[in-house]
Amino acid sequence: HQVVTAPTLAGADLSGAFVLEVTIALSLAISWASYASDYSRYLPVNTSRTAVFGYTFAGLAVAYIAVQAIGVAGAEVLTDQTAQGIRSIMGGGVLGALALIVVALSSVASNAMNDYSGSLALQTVGVRVRRPVSAVVVVVMAFALIMWLHSGDMAGRFQGVLLFVSYWIPAFVAIVAIDWRYRSAGREEVNPAEESTGRADAWVALGAFLVAFAAAVPFMHTNLVVGPVAAALHGADLAYFVNFLVAGALYGGYRIWRMRRS
């Protein structure tokens, strides 16, 4: 099979499609950012920051490059992403069944982390339920979403959902990174359990988050939402970058203002 195939688009359409593909790849990697603190807290205090970054980056890069390379190489034949389509591509029989088992097991492993982080998030917003109960709620919601994905064009719907639900993460990352930098300045150790957030700071962070999301809407390009700027740019999706920059500028500017006042 020829790995490198001739593009079906040209000019601005090709550039827009390339940017969209970069955004899709970025959405996969950045979607793990919201999970970081749920698991990094189990690391020893003296864990090397360089090692944490290096292993995380290597794991994401190697996995995504390998899987996406297979996708590029087999794009012409991998046109049916349903369970029956995957089984048929693998030739059916034992090999087809094995492929479906691998897909199922990988989904279970991934959703285990989703359920854990989802249940913690549900508790964080102040909903007083036990962790097993909150985990069940997240599982039920996730199962309903999975059934909807499998009821039609799974690849198209998955791409749209993946992009849309991840649009909030760049703003989240920008605000958390700036806030953490502000808190840790001049301190050797910061215990998150002992940190507090002022009401004014919380409202500004929430406001910056919402404004950044709203600013990114015109740049979105999914099968759920297509913003006017994305349409004018021939499908190029710049929403992630706009979201991150606007949130960083707003909350970073606020923190600089607070530091100068104090």
Predicted local distance difference test score (pLDDT) of residue 253: 94
Q: Are residues 52 and 4 in the same domain?
A: yes
Q: Are residues 56 and 5 in the same domain?
A: yes
Q: State the DSSP H helix or E strand holding residue 105, giving kind and residue range, or none if neither.
A: helix 93-124
Distance CA 9, CA 11 (A): 7
Tens digits of pLDDT across the chain (262 residues): 455 556 666 777 778 878 877 777 777 777 777 777 778 878 887 888 899 889 988 988 888 888 777 777 766 666 666 677 777 777 778 888 888 888 788 777 777 777 787 777 766 666 666 767 767 777 788 788 777 777 766 666 776 776 677 788 889 889 988 988 888 777 777 776 677 778 888 899 999 999 999 999 999 887 778 889 988 988 888 888 999 999 999 999 999 998 888 7
Q: Are residues 64 and 84 in the same domain?
A: no
Vertex 239: Cα angle to 235 and 240 (nearest 5): 125
Q: What's the number of CA atoms in the CB half-sphere (13 Å) around residue 44?
A: 4
Domain that holds residue 247: 1-78+167-262
Predicted local distance difference test score (pLDDT) of residue 1: 45
Q: Are residues 187 and 66 in the same domain?
A: yes
Q: Are residues 63 and 172 in the same domain?
A: yes
Q: Are residues 65 and 150 in the same domain?
A: no
Q: Are residues 110 and 226 in the same domain?
A: no
Predicted local distance difference test score (pLDDT) of residue 248: 94
Q: Which residue, of 154, 189, 205, is where some domain finishes?
A: 154
Q: Are residues 85 and 73 in the same domain?
A: no
Q: What's the number of CA atoms in the CB half-sphere (13 Å) around residue 13?
A: 4
Q: Is the pTM of this model over 0.75?
A: no
CB atoms within 10 A of CB 125: 6
Q: Are residues 93 and 105 in the same domain?
A: yes
- The number of folded domains in the chain is 2
Helices (H) and strands (E) in the chain, counts: 11, 0
Q: Are residues 59 and 86 in the same domain?
A: no
Own/partner contacts of 83-89, CB < 8 Å, gap of 24 or more, are 83/150
